[in-house]
Structure 1
Amino acid sequence: MMDLLLLARELDSQDPLADFRKRFLTAEESDVVAYLDGNSLGRPLATTPDTLSDFVRSQWAGRLIRGWDEGWLSLPERIGDLLGEVALGAAPGQCIVADSTSVLLYKLARAAISARPGRSEIVIDRDNFPTDRFIMEGIARECGLTIRWLDTQYDAGATVAGVTGAVGPATALVVLSHVAYRSGHCADVPGITAAVHAAGALALWDLSHSVGSVPAELDSWGVDYATGCSYKYLNGGPGAPAWAYIASRHLPNFSQPIQGWLGSADPFAMGGSYEPAEGIRRIVSGTPPIVGMLAMQDMLGVLAEAGMAEVRAKSMALTDFAVRAVDELLGNHGVVVASPRTAGQRGGHITIDHPGFADMVPELWAAGVIPDYRNPSGIRLGLSPLSTSFEETLRGVRSIAERMGRN
């Protein structure tokens, strides 16, 4: 069996995307030995400081309020179209950058429920990200609906069979994640969406843990609504704005639950009553976060250059290698891989479980090894395809193994 370090170096030497690692910024005095949390916060691009500085100096300071008429107001739609083209498989006019994922989940879910009057249930899995669950619970209270909980395996996620068994004539909306935040399970979006539609319901997909690492084809998959954040694999930075997708067939009757002025047909008319804008802009409520979307725009250019098919191939190779390293170095310590073992069934991260991990993670962080921890006992190894190497991945797993060996 090949030594893991030799294998990691061989894989790095053969990696067609290896040069992209130079595109990311590392602090001059960084203590980071292995950054394995790109599924929570992506590294900044090396161009990001100049992008932000140039905007402040030349556009904000130079053009001042004139900037709104000179391109700022249309930037959310332009970046949305770019995102749709590069990573989402969405034709122009269906994606936009706005708000946070939480706010967009609320807007999209309320609109979907309005589009299915007389239906009384929302279906969502119990292991979905807390925000998704909490928001749906709140909407159910507001609208007098019932939550139908979908149970999933701890190391997997929603399946066609599971969703088919849960939906029915009372189902208005099904809310699921493309890639499960804990296990990394990659759902069969077209298959599940077809099952939802067969029941007469609508599907809302959260792509927060997949966009930028797992290609999507929202149009051809028949997806109704989707949203996701931009600070993970899209490298938009802490708190960067989210994005929304509304299939063109739903736009004419989209019911906006938060009627802000910039989502109106003529914002600067300062009209007396609300009339929704045409197209995707009707999901907008307030002033768009221009500065917050600039780094994301740069990253979309990098993803377009690399190609999402190549990004996905690298992602699967990284997680395959991580699983192998965990098996060889941690298997004898009782560590369990709590993610699908087939590369095509998982996204860009894997979760490994052990009762001692909660106490270990602070030690790892202090040593410059940075994964993250998710209850009840999981370390997530988030492997960003363009910024993470195979050797860096091995350093992280070895650091965990060294601490397991001392206990």
Structure 2
Amino acid sequence: MTAIPRTGTHPDPDAAARAARAAELDAADPLARFVDAFVPSDDVIAYLDGNSLGRPTRASAERLARFATERWGARLIRGWDEEWYELPLTLGDRIGAATLGAAAGQTFVADSTTVILYKLVRAALAAPQAAGRDEIVLDSGNFPTDRYVLEGVAREHGATLRWIDPPHDGGVTPEQVAEVVGERTALVVLSHVAYRSGYVSDAEAITRVAHDAGALVLWDLCHSAGAVPVALDAWGVDLAVGCTYKYLNGGPGAPAFGYVRADLQDVLTQPIQGWMGSAAPFEMGPGYAPHAGARRFLSGTPAIVGMLAMQDMVELVADAGMDAVRAKSVALTELALELVDDLLVPLGARVASPRDPDRRGSHVTVDHDAFEATLPLLWERGVIPDFRRPNGLRLGLSPLSTSFDEVRVASRRCATRSSR
């Protein structure tokens, strides 16, 4: 790849036209009203990292401030009986309805993504459907947590990992899955949206391929929930997990959600038996018996404070509607690609995300060897993308909080800083 030349700032005769185009898109945006629902940052002019950590909503900032006095301080231990005990399930249902295409009683909010992933993988391998099966299908491009957890579980169970190697700028296809699944496949674990390239896998078709082979499927929805429509019930998905601090704006380290299809809930045994998932948590009995339904997948005391902020974002997503959210996501990434082609590709950069909008999530990755050194310069000047090794600048576009002009400003600053 040609190195980005250090030629200094160069004249940009098309800058005014790009600014006008971005202004037109913002003026015509039916979701523009949501941008003001988020807490601004005085020193940030373009925040393109909502796929790693979403901005806080103004409503959440107020909710967090009130909670200590009006709920925790005023209600004290009574809060468990009044709301908190049920919150992992009631909030799970709201997330399921607004973003996952999941009917009530199947989604719960509990631990970190890593812990819920571990629970569901272990539960799947011990399921009656998995009897006599000892292979797990995954891909080499999946997020490290997924690969690391599966490596550990496979070692514990004596299972074999069957790897799929997707292209650098793509993701896993139904055809690739069909090549590796068979009578020994117990579980297929994939991400719906690839964390680096943004590739959107055909979850419905892949689920069907896995089921035809007799295997269960677990989807990682971390880069989908709140940005890309998901239809877990309609697709017949068995299990799913996802974080809430990206497009659901739950805040740093907010607890993750899990999904277990209704007909599997009383069949699966989750491996981390805790008091909150027992049949009678407050009886403190001598032995563990699992609760009926989704509650059995809880373990310890729920992180109630960690569930506060995402409630407001889920309401915003429900108000906007996932179809409208997805339409803006596509429009934002289309603009980003236009600007990358115009400003960065001539400097030697390469697009490492799908150009087909149906196969692209809500972020665009651009590769160049200079980007690792460029990132801190951008951050100093209030432009916040992120970096994924070895050389990818990732432009994460959260549809409800990101304006089209932010995409323009960021793209221009990336080109200016990278050309020095």
Task: Give the alignment of 1:22-61 within 5 angstroms.
Answer: 22-27=36-41, 30-61=42-73
Partners of 1:238 and 1:252 in 2: CA distance: 32
Residues 97-146 of structure 1, C-alpha deviations (whole Å, 9 max, x = no match): 00000000000000111111211111100010000000000000011111
Which of 198, 203, 206 is the equivalent residue of 1:184? 198
* Letter aligned with residue 122 of structure 2: R
Task: Give the alignment of 1:180-329 within 5 angstroms.
Answer: 180-329=194-343
Partners of 2:154 and 2:362 in 1: CA distance: 32
Partners of 2:390 and 2:17 in 1: CA distance: 32
Residues 80-112 of structure 1, C-alpha deviations (whole Å, 9 max, x = no match): 111111110000000010000000000000011
Residues 356-399 of structure 1, C-alpha deviations (whole Å, 9 max, x = no match): 11111111111111100001110000001011011101111111
Q: Identity percentage over the alignment?
A: 57
Partners of 1:16 and 1:113 in 2: CA distance: 45
Residues 203-234 of structure 1, C-alpha deviations (whole Å, 9 max, x = no match): 00000011000111100001000010000000
Q: CA deviation at 1:294?
A: 1.0
Task: Give the alignment of 1:139-150 within 5 angstroms.
Answer: 139-150=153-164
The question of 1:98 aligning with 2:82 is answered no
Residue aligning to 1:333? 347
Which of 363, 372, 393 is the equivalent residue of 2:377? 363
Q: Is the 8 A contact 2:183 2:214 kept in 1?
A: yes
Residue aligning to 1:19? 33
Q: CA deviation at 1:196?
A: 0.5
Q: CA deviation at 1:3?
A: 2.5
Residue aligning to 1:81? 93
The question of 1:352 aligning with 2:360 is answered no
Q: CA deviation at 1:280?
A: 0.2
Residues 47-92 of structure 1, C-alpha deviations (whole Å, 9 max, x = no match): 1121012221111011111111111100110001111111100000
Where do 5+ consecutive residues of structure 1 fail to align?
none
Residue aligning to 1:156? 170
Partners of 2:268 and 2:160 in 1: CA distance: 22
Partners of 1:258 and 1:405 in 2: CA distance: 52
Q: CA deviation at 1:404?
A: 2.6
SS at match of 1:91: coil
* Letter aligned with residue 32 of structure 2: A
SS at match of 2:58: coil
Q: CA deviation at 1:31?
A: 1.0
The question of 1:376 aligning with 2:390 is answered yes
TM-score under structure 1 length normalisation: 0.98
Partners of 1:153 and 1:140 in 2: CA distance: 25
Residue aligning to 2:125? 113
* Letter aligned with residue 77 of structure 1: L
Residue aligning to 2:18? 4
Partners of 1:88 and 1:237 in 2: CA distance: 20
The question of 1:67 aligning with 2:61 is answered no
Task: Give the alignment of 1:161-180 within 5 angstroms.
Answer: 161-180=175-194
SS at match of 1:3: helix
Q: Is the 8 A contact 2:371 2:418 kept in 1?
A: no
Partners of 1:331 and 1:151 in 2: CA distance: 26
SS at match of 2:177: helix
Residues 182-216 of structure 1, C-alpha deviations (whole Å, 9 max, x = no match): 00000100000000001110100000011000111
* Letter aligned with residue 87 of structure 1: T
Of 135-144 and 43-52, more deviation after overlay is shown by: 43-52
Q: CA deviation at 1:405?
A: 2.2
Q: Is the 8 A contact 2:99 2:229 kept in 1?
A: yes
Q: CA deviation at 1:324?
A: 0.4
The question of 1:401 aligning with 2:415 is answered yes
Q: Is the 8 A contact 2:228 2:362 kept in 1?
A: yes
* Letter aligned with residue 205 of structure 2: G
* Letter aligned with residue 170 of structure 2: A
Q: CA deviation at 1:247?
A: 0.3
Q: CA deviation at 1:7?
A: 1.2
Q: CA deviation at 1:6?
A: 1.6
Which of 130, 134, 139 is the equivalent residue of 1:125? 139
Partners of 2:198 and 2:303 in 1: CA distance: 30
